[in-house]
Amino acid sequence: MITEAVLRYSNIEKVVGLCNVPIGMEMGIAKLLDVDHSRVRIDFAGLNHMVYGLDVYVDGVSVKEQVMEKLTDPENSSFVKNIEGQGWEPEFLRTLNVLPCPYHNYYYKSKDMVDKALKSAETEGTRAEVVQKLENELFELYKNPDLAIKPPQLEERGGAYYSDAAVRLITSIYNDKRDIQPVNTMNRGAIASIPNDSAVEVSCIITKDGPKPITVGDLPVPVRGLVQSIKSFERVAAEAAVTGDYNTALLALTINPLTPSDTIAKQIVDEMLEAHREYLPQFFKETVETK
């Protein structure tokens, strides 16, 4: 959504969004196949936190069928569940016939994810509280100029492989390597199911002039609607953030498929705007002007 907003509402022409989900999926598949990560490539298409693996290659040869067999083999179930976001029902995954990302759990396993979040909130605190505690600990450690180890708290923070993905991308742009990497960029016709001027997460050829999206055509029917729905949410949410229009913010949250109703959406928007009023002055312009 950030890449969408920057592309649509800023004057910055050279924009690349980066997420650690694709490289995390590559690492997981490499582990599943017991091969080095450098030999694995996945054809990615979708959106940030809403990306699918359309095909999987090892040394340039498609191994998608082999991967699907391993992911749905009951004998591998305990191993597969340790690969983040891959504990799917075998029948579902076989028929879907693409690799979901970990964030698809929120859509395909909504109740499980809510139950997990509630349990974590009761025992450890909310995700925000846990992260805030970790960051406070990290900032204290970083005050020590003699710190010479990677703090263990980083392992709990999330965002694994971000540094690997970032360095890989920067290196390829600087050296015009023209290798293939998944990034967030303007669609430009790569995914036929998404408007050309929208941000997408897709495999691209990385050049000194930026990413060149690889055309994948239409997304498969079973995943197309969900991706389009989230893209609509992203565009409306970005508009709301930039304009500070309350009604647009309410609309954005209501059309998100994870929101149960417009009434609940209104409750969330009202609560969040009040809680973060200091950081969202664009939503309170009339109040300020009236005063």
Annotated binding site for Mn(2+): 19, 49
Q: Say how far apart CA 27 and CA 8 lie, in whole Å.
A: 32
Pairing of strands 40-47, 50-58: antiparallel
Write the Ramachandran bin of 125: left for phi over 0, alpha for psi from -120 to 50, otherwise beta: left
| Residues ≥6 apart with Cβ < 8 Å to 230 | 47, 50, 256, 257
Q: Are 29 and 42 in contact (CB under 8 A)?
A: yes
Q: Residue 54 burial (CB < 10 Å; 0-12/13-18/19+)?
A: buried
- Per the annotation, the verdict on 279 as an active-site residue is no
Q: Say how far apart CA 175 and CA 104 lie, in whole Å.
A: 34
In degrees, to the nearest 5, what angle opens at C-alpha 21 toward C-alphas 107 and 275? 65
What amino acid is encoded at 228 in this protein?
Answer: Q
Q: Radius of gyration (Cα) for the chain, nearest Å?
A: 21
Element (DSSP H or E) covering residue 47:
strand 40-47
Longest pairwise C-alpha distance within the chain: 67
Can you say which residues are annotated as belonging to the binding site? 19, 49
112 backbone dihedrals φ, ψ, rounded to 5°: -60, -40
Q: Say how far apart CA 136 and CA 15 lie, in whole Å.
A: 31
| Catalytic residue (one of 57, 103, 162, 246) | 103
Query: How many beta carbons lie within 10 A of that of residue 213, not counting itself?
Result: 20
Active site residues: 103
